[in-house]
């Protein structure tokens, strides 16, 4: 009869054998997925890391430091002033592990070259210093051959587009130091930022011709330009999802790459994406680098569109229209249609719910569902319920319980509305 100790020992041996078998199977699996590593430096590693992670076939992308000597591999050390132009300083790089069955070395490197300017020495845009150098560290001779061939092809395309010589260093991998934890997935951890975009706009293969867009329509009137990235930019996607998706205003909003601003007078740097430019008659009035929340965007748009007007004071300083103001007289007897947010263009009130309250302000029994929200307003020693637009967060007016037949009365400032006939909405 076996003792419990012997049974336990036998069980441990079996479990150990089982996991040894799993490990062997795992090693076999790793040998069949054709994974390789390559280290790529193209300036700030935050956006670069995110860009590689978005590519199908990339298994992992890790921010780190490489190619330095005599300098401790830490962000604090490589950013010291004494190391800014130190040729032995580490470069900010990304270690990319990829499945060659899903993405070739050539495809990965095409993304690398297209996503930065390899003709800039020890810098990318405003990021200046040896830590921002363009560098490729290869792990196989096959990778080296692909790199050299692709660089020749890209140099031809760059030269045709007016760029200088490629200065990218190409070396075998000697070491790689993983960056501090807060640098990993930095963009995902910091959603309110921008992606630096220093790409030249020069593309490989059939994409090698810069797309020159016609900007003649932007030379007259007011427009909003959103500069987006050549490749994937999470902040651009966030801006589209949270702002652009709900924007229906009458100031046209267009997207451009930094290389597509011909004939426009732009003052702001264009390397950050998104960059939002408010232009009039082809000239920038004001620009904002990085992601803008809906509230921030509409505050900027409000001043751009409304200026120092009564409408601006109503929208952003909780002002109130004068009774029987000009806009009220225009809007009180419009044909069938919809009143929209003056900034976002989102529908707010329907003429079917309008009534004459004889107060001198537009009055409605209800808003369009989901278009407004309420909040307490205890200003001026009164207890009222304020009405604000969901899309732009501008002040619209107040709601009172004295509407017809026991319904509410939404008392709304006409200066922050625009009218659209129903026949134009179809």
For residue 214, the tally of other CB atoms under 10 A from its CB is 9
| Spatial CA neighbour of 366 closest among 392, 347, 381, 346 | 347
Element of type H or E holding 229? none
Active site members: 44, 411
DSSP assignments along 313-350, one per residue: HHHHH---PPTT-HHHHHHTT--SEEEEETTT--EEEE
* C-alpha torsion 386→388→393→396, nearest 10: -100
> For every residue of 63-88, which 3-state class applies, written as one string?
EEEECCCCCCCCHHHHCCHHHCCCCC
The sheet that has 417-421: what strands, in order across it? Answer: 347-350, 337-341, 417-421
> Closest Cα partner for 143 from 167, 109, 115?
109
Q: How many Cβ atoms are within 10 Å of 6's Cβ, its own excluded?
A: 10
Helices in 124-233 by DSSP H: which ranges?
Answer: 141-160, 186-189
Instruction: Point out which residues pair with 399 in neighbouring strands.
Output: 385, 410
Buried b (16+ CB within 10 A) or exposed e, 24-33: eeeeeeeeee
DSSP string computed for 117-141: -TTSSSEETTEESGGG-EEEEESSH
Closest CA to 76 of 174, 185, 183, 191: 183
User: In angstroms, rounded to a whole number, what is the distance separating the alpha carbons of residues 248 and 344?
Assistant: 5
Q: Coil, helix or strand for 213?
A: coil
Secondary structure element (H or E) that encloses residue 33, with its range: none
Cβ count near 66 (within 10 Å): 22
């Amino acid at each position: 009869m076996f003792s419990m100790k012997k049974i336990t020992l036998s069980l441990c041996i079996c479990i150990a054998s089982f996991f040894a078998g799993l490990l062997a199977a795992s090693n076999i699996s790793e040998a069949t997925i054709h994974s390789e590593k390559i280290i790529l430096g193209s300036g700030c590693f935050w956006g670069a890391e995110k860009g590689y992670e978005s590519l199908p076939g990339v298994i992992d992308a890790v921010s780190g430091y490489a190619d330095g000597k005599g300098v401790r591999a830490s962000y604090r050390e490589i950013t010291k002033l004494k190391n800014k132009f130190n040729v032995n300083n580490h470069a900010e790089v990304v270690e990319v592990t990829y499945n060659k069955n899903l993405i070739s070395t050539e495809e990965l490197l095409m993304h690398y070259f297209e996503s930065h300017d390899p003709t800039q020495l020890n810098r990318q845009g405003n990021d200046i210093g040896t830590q921002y150098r363009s560098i490729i560290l290869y792990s196989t001779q096959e990778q080296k051959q692909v790199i050299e061939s692709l660089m020749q092809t890209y140099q031809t395309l760059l030269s045709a587009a007016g760029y200088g010589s490629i200065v990218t260093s190409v070396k075998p991998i000697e070491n790689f130091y993983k960056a501090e934890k807060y640098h990993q997935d930095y963009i995902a951890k910091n959603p309110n930022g921008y992606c630096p975009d220093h790409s030249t706009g020069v593309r490989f293969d059939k994409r090698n011709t810069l797309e020159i867009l016609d900007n003649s329509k932007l030379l007259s009137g007011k427009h909003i330009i959103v500069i987006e990235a050549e490749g994937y930019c999470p902040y651009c996607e966030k801006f589209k999802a949270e702002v652009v998706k709900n924007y229906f205003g009458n100031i046209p909003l267009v997207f451009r790459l930094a290389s597509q601003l011909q004939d426009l007078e732009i003052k702001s740097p264009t390397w950050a994406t998104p960059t939002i430019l408010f232009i009039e008659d082809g000239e920038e009035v004001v620009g904002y680098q990085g992601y803008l929340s809906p509230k921030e965007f509409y505050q900027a748009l409000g001043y751009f569109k409304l200026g120092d007007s009564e409408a601006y004071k109503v929208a952003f300083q909780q002002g109130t229209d004068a009774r029987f103001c000009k806009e009220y007289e225009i809007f009180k007897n419009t044909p069938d249609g919809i009143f929209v947010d003056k900034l976002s263009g989102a529908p707010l009130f329907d003429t079917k719910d309008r009534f004459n309250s004889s107060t001198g302000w537009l009055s409605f029994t209800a808003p369009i569902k989901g278009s407004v929200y309420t909040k307490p307003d205890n200003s001026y020693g009164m207890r009222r319920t304020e009405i604000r637009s969901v899309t732009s967060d501008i002040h619209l007016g107040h709601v009172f319980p004295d509407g017809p037949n026991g319904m509410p009365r939404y008392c709304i400032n006409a200066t922050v509305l625009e009218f659209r006939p129903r026949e134009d909405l179809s």
